[in-house]
């Protein structure tokens, strides 16, 4: 299908970018059946229904410009911005290294500035749509029912997306200049994960510092607002005013967002082209020094070693795991700290969260070690039974999870041995169930494709989430001492697992069908 714009114009390039993004999005869901799209549709309908109720409820209500509302708006914008920045930074790093079409574009007569402008605008649209679509569904009823000025929210989101795209590019190029092409990709991926988790970590700062137990940043703000002690810096209310459609704040927000974007796109055009060229062959590393290790004995050990090497060298996977670890560590810390001076029931929540996140980390690792294989033919022609290779891949995925959990559980065991035992059992169960789901519902492919696809089977991900919730809940109840109540969620989790179970023959048939 030809693009409806003048060839080589900026809209034509942008349409090309968006077409590739859309096809990538669809390809990522290929093989999941209509389930994913139905789930998106149902979710959208639910948000829309919520929006209708919201619209009816606030028909004659104006948002008060009180400190609490201002603080909530500022925090929401900050969270959205960090998440957008996380996406655009990873996107900017990928744009430098993914050579699918950059060589073609930069070898054409198009100005590099124009190429970068279209690519950056595509990144902004991709990052913005994740927030814009739910916002449109949620707020359109209110806007139609009289709050027309609230459409300022959409403008603020668009400005935030543009700003995040510009910042992502600037950050990626700064990394490139500072640490060179070889390390930029890895560092950018890790930094994107850190930025994505920034607000959660900031919210837990007071917990970690131990100023007051169970008091997060958000709780502190709510308490201060209730007591009339919340003071905000000047202009802190401008994001809220902009979202409510006040012209001057709205104009300022747009100028800031679009300004960052334009400056980045205009200034970096030529440098981006040079940087992209410099990445060619940049991932070549120096040869390792020192004596070589002895070879592993047998297929199981050799496969475990190979998988651990591949996991440790996969920047995208590490950043994904790091994000989950960043969520897990403060909770684990809280769990261990509370264990020293709190009753058992106070440990239930953090224990459940650690259990849940252990399953999530295991799921990420298992999904890629079991399903992503660059040389399936090599494994298939070897005389090693597939079951041995599968066990080795599962073992390799679970070793980092066990290592991550070892310290918090050891600390917890010191103060509250029984709670530690239940948390270890819960975390082990979620990791084990994630492993089984990863094996039963594997989708073979190459590692590079997995990076692009980002996610696995929709059904598997949903089931993993549900089972982690159920086992997390059971762990919380067991830690609180309500053992009998821990059984029902475990039974439901077991039933879900039984429903997902596939025999070896069924797995082989599914793999054959997928390879045709």
Partner 1 sequence: MKCLGAGLTEALIVRGLNKTFAKPAVSDLDLTVHAGELYALLGPNGAGKTTTLRMVAGLTQPDSGEVSIFGVDARKDPAGAKALLAWAPDEAMIYDKLTPLEYLEFVAGLWNIEPGAAKTKAEELLAALGLTDEARRRCEGFSRGMKQKVALAGALIHDPKLLILDEPLTGLDAAAARLVKDMLQARVDAGGTVILTTHILEVAERMADRIGIIAGGRLLAEGTLDELRGKVGEAGGKTLEDVFLQLTAEAVA
Residue 233 or 281: the one with the smaller Cβ distance to partner 1 is 281
Shortest Å distance, C-beta 382 to partner 1: 4
Is 247 a binding residue for partner 1 by CB under 8 A? The answer is no
Interacting residue with partner 1 among 126, 186, 303, 364 (CB under 8 A): 303
Tokens representing 173?
């190029």
Is 452 a binding residue for partner 1 by CB under 8 A? The answer is no
Is 256 a binding residue for partner 1 by CB under 8 A? The answer is no
Shortest Å distance, C-beta 226 to partner 1: 53
Helical packing angle, 35-57 and 458-480, nearest 10°: 60
Q: Are 200 and 327 in contact (CB under 8 A)?
A: yes
Residue 349 or 400: the one with the smaller Cβ distance to partner 1 is 400
Closest CA to 399 of 311, 335, 475: 311
Residues binding partner 1: what is the number (CB under 8 A)?
Answer: 36
Q: Are 319 and 192 in contact (CB under 8 A)?
A: yes
Interacting residue with partner 1 among 306, 413, 415, 482 (CB under 8 A): 306
- What is the Cα gyration radius of the chain? 25
Sign of CA dihedral 106, 110, 113, 114: negative
The H-or-E segment that residue 507 falls in is helix 504-515
CA distance 453 to 356: 23
3-state secondary structure of 372: strand
Shortest Å distance, C-beta 380 to partner 1: 5
Shortest Å distance, C-beta 187 to partner 1: 17
Of 12-20, 374-382, 398-406, 428-436, which part binds partner 1 (CB under 8 A)? Answer: 374-382
User: What does the buried/exposed string (b/e) look like for 416-453 if buried means 16 or more CB atoms within 10 Å of the residue's CB?
Assistant: beebbebbbebbbbbbbbbbbbbbbbbbebeeeebbeb
Tokens representing 358?
């252990």
Of 48-56, 70-78, 347-355, 372-380, which part binds partner 1 (CB under 8 A)? Answer: 372-380
Is 504 a binding residue for partner 1 by CB under 8 A? The answer is no
CA distance 41 to 47: 10
Is 509 a binding residue for partner 1 by CB under 8 A? The answer is no
Residue 303 or 338: the one with the smaller Cβ distance to partner 1 is 303
Of 93-101, 293-301, 415-423, 482-490, which part binds partner 1 (CB under 8 A)? Answer: 293-301
Residue 6 or 512: the one with the smaller Cβ distance to partner 1 is 512
Shortest Å distance, C-beta 378 to partner 1: 4
Q: Which residues contact 287 (CB under 8 A, 6 or more apart)?
A: none
Is 291 a binding residue for partner 1 by CB under 8 A? The answer is no
Interacting residue with partner 1 among 310, 425, 436, 459 (CB under 8 A): 310
Interacting residue with partner 1 among 381, 403, 498, 499 (CB under 8 A): 381
Residue 206 or 306: the one with the smaller Cβ distance to partner 1 is 306
Residue 289 or 341: the one with the smaller Cβ distance to partner 1 is 289
Is 308 a binding residue for partner 1 by CB under 8 A? The answer is no
Long-range contacts of 478-487 (CB under 8 A, 24+ apart): 478/422, 478/425, 478/426, 479/344, 479/345, 479/347, 479/348, 479/351, 479/352, 479/418, 479/419, 479/422, 479/423, 480/344, 480/345, 480/347, 480/348, 481/344, 481/345
Is 377 a binding residue for partner 1 by CB under 8 A? The answer is yes
Is 186 a binding residue for partner 1 by CB under 8 A? The answer is no
Is 100 a binding residue for partner 1 by CB under 8 A? The answer is no
Q: Which residues contact 282 (CB under 8 A, 6 or more apart)?
A: 180, 181, 182
Is 513 a binding residue for partner 1 by CB under 8 A? The answer is no
Of 45-53, 189-197, 296-304, 425-433, which part binds partner 1 (CB under 8 A)? Answer: 296-304
Query: What part of residues 261-290 is at the interface with partner 1 (CB under 8 A)?
Result: 281, 283-289
CA distance 202 to 130: 23
Shortest Å distance, C-beta 461 to partner 1: 25
Shortest Å distance, C-beta 386 to partner 1: 11
Closest CA to 115 of 263, 260, 5, 268: 268
Q: Is 304 exposed, middle or buried (0-12, 13-18, 19+ CB in 10 A)?
A: buried
Interaction site with partner 1 (CB under 8 A): 281, 283-289, 292, 294-303, 305-306, 309-310, 313-314, 374-375, 377-385
């Amino acid at each position: 299908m030809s693009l409806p714009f003048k060839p080589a114009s900026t809209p034509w390039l942008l349409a090309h970018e968006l077409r590739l993004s859309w096809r990538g999005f669809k390809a990522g869901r290929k093989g999941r059946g209509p389930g994913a799209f139905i789930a998106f549709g149902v979710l959208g309908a639910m948000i829309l229904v919520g929006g209708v109720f919201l619209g009816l409820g606030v028909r004659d209500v104006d948002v008060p410009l009180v400190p609490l509302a201002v603080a909530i708006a500022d925090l929401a914008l900050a969270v959205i911005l960090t998440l957008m920045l996380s996406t655009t930074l990873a996107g900017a790093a990928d744009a430098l290294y993914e050579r699918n079409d950059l060589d073609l574009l930069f070898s054409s007569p198009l100005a590099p500035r124009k190429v970068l402008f279209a690519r950056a605008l595509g990144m902004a649209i991709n990052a913005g749509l994740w927030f814009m679509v739910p916002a449109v569904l949620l707020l359109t009823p209110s806007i139609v029912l009289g709050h027309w000025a609230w459409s300022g929210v959409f403008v603020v989101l668009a400005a935030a997306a543009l700003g995040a795209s510009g910042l992502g590019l600037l950050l990626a190029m700064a990394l490139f200049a500072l640490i060179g092409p070889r390390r930029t990709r890895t560092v950018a991926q890790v930094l994107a994960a850190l930025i994505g988790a920034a607000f959660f970590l900031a919210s837990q700062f007071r917990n970690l510092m131990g100023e007051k137990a169970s008091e997060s940043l958000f709780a502190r703000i709510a308490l201060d607002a209730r007591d009339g002690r919340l003071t905000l810096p000047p202009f802190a209310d401008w994001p809220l005013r902009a979202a409510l459609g006040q012209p001057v704040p709205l104009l300022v927000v747009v100028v800031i967002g679009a300004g960052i974007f334009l400056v980045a796109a205009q200034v970096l055009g030529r440098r981006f082209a040079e940087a992209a060229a410099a990445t060619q062959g940049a991932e070549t590393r120096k040869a390792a020094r020192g004596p070589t290790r002895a070879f592993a004995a047998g297929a199981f050990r050799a496969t475990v070693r190979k998988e651990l090497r591949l996991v440790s060298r996969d920047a995208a996977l590490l950043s994904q795991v790091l994000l989950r670890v960043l969520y897990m560590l403060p909770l684990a810390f809280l769990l261990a700290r509370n264990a020293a001076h709190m009753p058992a029931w106070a440990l239930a929540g953090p224990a459940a969260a650690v259990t849940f996140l252990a399953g999530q980390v295991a799921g990420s690792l298992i999904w890629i070690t079991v399903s992503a294989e660059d040389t399936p033919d090599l494994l298939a022609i070897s005389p090693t039974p597939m079951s041995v290779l599968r066990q080795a891949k599962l073992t390799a995925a679970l070793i980092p999870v066990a290592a991550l959990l070892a310290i918090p559980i050891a600390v917890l065991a010191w103060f509250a041995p029984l709670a530690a035992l239940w948390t270890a059992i819960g975390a082990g169960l979620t990791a084990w169930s994630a492993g089984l789901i990863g094996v039963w519902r594997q989708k073979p492919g190459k590692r590079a494709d997995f990076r692009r696809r980002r996610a696995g089977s929709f059904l598997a991900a949903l089931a993993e989430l549900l089972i982690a919730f159920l086992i997390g809940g059971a762990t919380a109840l067991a830690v609180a001492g309500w053992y009998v109540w821990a059984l029902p969620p475990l039974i439901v989790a077991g039933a879900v697992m039984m429903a997902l179970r596939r025999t070896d023959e069924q797995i082989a048939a599914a793999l054959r069908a997928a390879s045709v």
